[in-house]
Structure 1
Amino acid sequence: MFTALVVLALGWSIYWAIGSGAGQKGLETWFEAREAEGWVAEYSEMSVEGFPNRFDAKFEDLALADPDTGLAWEAPHFEILALSYQPNHLIAVWPDSQRIATPLAKYDVTSDDMRASLRVAPQSDLALNELTLTAKTLTVAELGQTETARLDSLTLAAEKAPSGDLPRYRLGVQADGFTPSDAWQKHLDPNGRLPEKLDQMRIDMTVEFDKPWNISAIEEARPQPRMIDLKSAEAQWGQLALAMAGKVTVDDQGQPEGDITIKARNWRDILQLAREAEALPPSLADTAESALSLLAQMSGNPTTLDIPLTLRGGRVWLGPAPLGPAPVLRLR
């Protein structure tokens, strides 16, 4: 019995040593490959620890920047944790502070306990099967600015769904206690009639992409949406409530086509906010109120408004009337 335990312990030690060494070498090779492609891919120190039951990769002073998209990320430390007997279940742990850069601006992000649980396919492309990301007390501030936007808590979940020719994922987002920056608060609600925080925001949708979410989404290009089935998107701010649902297809240029319905509760208050924020000229606001009043009366509920919108030809339509350009749905 003792001999068997010794052999088992020795075998497991060899397995862990080989696995940790291979993991570290694979990470080093990945960083070298990104640098060869012109990326910034740097760290001051990397180690794989956790014997005997874990493979824990730890980075210090991590910096990644993709020259093709202009996206960059810096973190003082970052961890990718895995059980040695289940290496395709990963836990990513972010630091309390990090910096994200886009072609438009740089942002300092702080949070409490930001982490993600990922289950990936055991193949080398690490195709995503499940993801859950959570964070508490999340704040975002543009570099050099003192004003911040804040979330009390954030949960993002993704799960690979049954699909046909193109990969499909079900996505869910819940954000509680969103506090806009002071500048946005004053712009959206100049008279201070609303609470400081939005009570909640929720999104439930299924998205079909042109390729799977795997390691190539970082190395090469992000998968692009080809179909969005928005089951619900809801936001609650005091007595004001907005909800959206609908389904659109998306072409190669990111132009959506399909139908979306917006439900607005206490819509007159929303229109009044638009007036006060000067988002609508007074004459257009009066015209909009008359038209929306008619729509509300037709629905049978004067305080709740259902607005059916059509996205077609690069524009948003309300019946035969064009309202403006449709959003371009492309991931950088």
Structure 2
Amino acid sequence: MRRLIVLIVAAAALWGGYWFIAARGLETGLRNWLATPQVGWATEYADLNVRGFPNRLDTVIEKPVVTTDSGIAWRAPFFQAMALSYKPNHVILVWPDQQTVETPFGTANITTNDMRGSIVFSASTDLALDHSNFVIDGLRAAISESGEFTAKSALFATRLAPARTNVHEIGLDASDITPPADILAQLGLGRAAPAVIEQLKLDAALGFDRPLDRFALEGTPAQINRIELKHTRVQWGDMALRANGDLDVDRAGNLDGSITLGITNWKQVLTLAVNGGLIPQRQAKQIERGLALLSANRDTLELPLNLRGGVMSLGPIPLGPAPRLRQRQ
């Protein structure tokens, strides 16, 4: 019995020592990383502590602020990252129910019923991303000078694609999305538009130029070099948009490839695209006439969206300059 007691005491002491070393190492590493200048963004906070003895490593960051060179800032009263001390590569993230995002176009005061995520990294010193999932319930964003944006729920998940290098499969499913009334008016829809976007679904894969590990945010961030849309669907009243196809992305951010678009109620979708700045106003009538011929005056269309050499076209109809991802030169 005495030996058993000695073994239990020794095991407890060893475990306590392990937890203390792991907690102090995690806290020191996080403080050093957050204090290191990064390309394009910076972080401030009031305090950072690691708690959870004896079986957890719970990191609490008080009053974090993340700012970017593009003038965007995220603020919150706290942020939590939690892991089991014997499984530190599986991290649970918890956001507060109130956050603020500041942009050059206005400030969004965000509230949620629940917002959390789970990230699993590889069991190595590089901590490469293996898979993740995030959930938001009861999202409300009061946007200055625009109104309120809401969403009933949103699910987002990723996983490292099997047998492919630096490719991550991603999925998004959001429901009951209500855009601000001012934005609807700006898009030329106003009261004629349905109040709620019923569904937004995305099934895709993104290729990166290097692994998404702990080095991916240091120096120049990891860059997307391929986009594969397997299934995308937006349902908004009697408007619907479906998309699938593949795009390559060069180092300058130019997109090259083709996406097949299926559009229901294409005239109203065209109005959205023009008023949202995706299609020049001066080309709207010409494009509408061309789409009317291609659709044989039906409400539905299925056409390829081609992106080549910095320009894009919808079937045979030129649309102008193609969007470009912000990539390194």
TM-score in terms of structure 1 length: 0.86
Shift of 1:122: 2.8
Structure 1's 323 and 24: CA in aligned 2 closer, same or farther, altered over 3 A? same
8 Å Cα contact 1:190-1:277 kept in structure 2: no
Q: Who is 1:6 aligned against?
A: 9
| Residue 37 of structure 2, aligned match among 26, 30, 34 | 34
Question: Equivalent residue for 1:311?
Answer: 307
Alignment of 1:175-254 (within 5 A): 175-188=174-187, 190=189, 192-254=191-253
Q: 1:15 aligns with which of 15, 18, 36?
A: 18
Contact between 2:146 and 2:183, CA under 8 Å: does it hold in 1? no
Q: Aligned partners of 2:29 and 2:128: how far apart in 1?
A: 17
- Read off the aligned partner of 1:57 and give its amino acid letter: T
Identity across matched positions, percent: 36
**Corresponding pairs, count:** 325
Aligned to 1:75: 76
Root mean square deviation of aligned Cα: 3.1
Partner of 1:296: 295
Unpaired stretches in structure 1, ≥5 consecutive residues: none
Within 5 Å, which residues of 2 pair with 1:50-65? 50-65=52-67
**2:149–2:179 Cα contact (<8 Å) kept:** yes
- Unpaired runs of at least 5, structure 2: none
Partner of 1:159: 159
Which digits, 9 at most, give the CA deviation of each residue in 1:256-304, with x for residues without a partner?
Answer: 111111101233454577799999899966654443233234xxx9342
In 2, the alpha carbon distance for the partners of 1:290 and 1:97 equals 47
Q: Which amino acid aligns with 1:15?
A: Y
- Provide the rounded CA distance (Å) in 2 between the counterparts of 1:103 and 1:214: 30
CA distance in 2, matches of 1:235, 1:314: 26
Mean CA deviation greater in 151-160 or 210-219: 210-219
Q: Which moved more, 1:111-120 or 1:5-14?
A: 5-14
Return the alpha-carbon distance in structure 2 between the equivalents of residues 187 and 329 of structure 1. 25
Q: Secondary structure at the match of 1:25?
A: helix
Indicate how the Cα distance of structure 1 residues 320 and 288 shifts in structure 2: closer, same or farther if over 3 A, else same. closer
In the alignment, is the contact (CA less than 8 A) between 1:315 and 1:326 conserved in 2?
A: yes
Instruction: Say which SS state the counterpart of residue 138 (structure 1) adopts.
Output: strand
Shift of 1:204: 0.8
The residue aligned with 2:92 is 91
Offset of residue 319 of structure 1: 4.1
Q: Provide the residue aligned with 2:114 in structure 1.
A: 113
Q: How much has 1:244 moved relative to structure 2?
A: 0.9
Cα deviations across residues 188-212 of structure 1 (Å, max 9, x unaligned)?
Answer: 3545233211001011111111122
